[in-house]
Each structure stands twice: as C-alpha cells, then as structure tokens.
Amino acid sequence: MKVVLVQNVSGLGKADEVKEVADGYARNFLFAKNLAVPATSKILSDLAARQAKKTKNAEQDLRDQQATAEKLDGREVFVKEKASESGALYAAVGPQKISEALKKMGFAVNKNKIILKPIKEAGEYKAKIKLGHGLEAEITIVVNLV
C-alpha cells in the first residue's frame, strides 16, 4: 500500500515522502498513530503543490540572500567605543555590537552569523558574515575611540 508520511517515522522516512508499506503496517500502526495517510490522487496532487511552493520559496530566499550578500560585501561598519589612556577598549567589540551597527544601517543580521574575534583595540578589522545557502560576505569594522 502506498502512503504519504505526515511525520518523520524512524526507519521508514521523513514527512511528505511517499512510501510503499505492508497493508497491515499501514492500517495498524501508521494510520492508527496518525503518522501517515493513504496516497490518494488528491493527496498526491496536494503534496506536489506543497513541494512546488517550497521550491519556489527556497529559490526566492536564495535570491534575497544573494542580494544581501552583494550589498554587505566590502561595506565598512563604524563603531565608536571608550578606551583607556593606553588605547585598550573598556569593553570588547563583539558580534552583538556589530549586529546592532548593521541594524542601524538597514541590515538585519543575527549576531550568531558574524564570525570575528573580540576586538580589544581601535583600528580596522575584517569579519565574515555567514548567510543562508552557503553565502558569505566580508565586511570591514572600523573601531574609533570616543
């Protein structure tokens, strides 16, 4: 019997996959626990439509991520921080502060996507931003003293 999995089933497959299983297994286990539904023509056409929509959304997301990467690549981010007389910053500049500075520039970048070591002195530093779909952008961080 052909079934469409509603949830991930260990040892069988993932949600939205069409599988061929024994009739008894389908009726007594999969259907009873609402893990699968019979693969009727209507359900298969709905599944195809959902997968087409998911593919279209993924393509749109890729285009959006590429546009963001192009806009971010090579951009300079200016951060002003207080420092001691010796030039050491009172607080290190990390991904959180860079994320906030990028947000002010109009880029919503999660701090977990910014790859850099904490900055403890004024100067210019490079940082990578990992975007979805394996895309990366490199920005320059300029730390100035207040």
Average pLDDT over residues 54-77: 94
Average pLDDT over residues 101-108: 93
Residue 87 clears pLDDT 90, i.e. is over it? no
From 63, 95, 114, give the residue that closes a domain. 63
**Side chain identity at 144, as an amino acid letter?**
N
Distance separating alpha carbons of residues 140 and 74, to the nearest angstrom: 7
Does pTM surpass 0.75?
A: no
Do 104 and 139 lie in a common domain?
yes
93 Rama sector, left if φ>0, alpha if ψ -120 to 50, beta otherwise: beta
Q: What percent of the chain has pLDDT over 70?
A: 100
pLDDT at 86: 85
Do 59 and 83 lie in a common domain?
no
Do 36 and 96 lie in a common domain?
no
* Cα distances (angstroms) measured from residue 80 to each of 24, 42, 92, 120: 68, 60, 11, 12
Do 57 and 72 lie in a common domain?
no
Residue 137 clears pLDDT 90, i.e. is over it? yes
Residue 92 clears pLDDT 90, i.e. is over it? yes
From 11, 32, 63, give the residue that closes a domain. 63
CATH classification at residue 34: 3.40.5.10
Do 87 and 29 lie in a common domain?
no
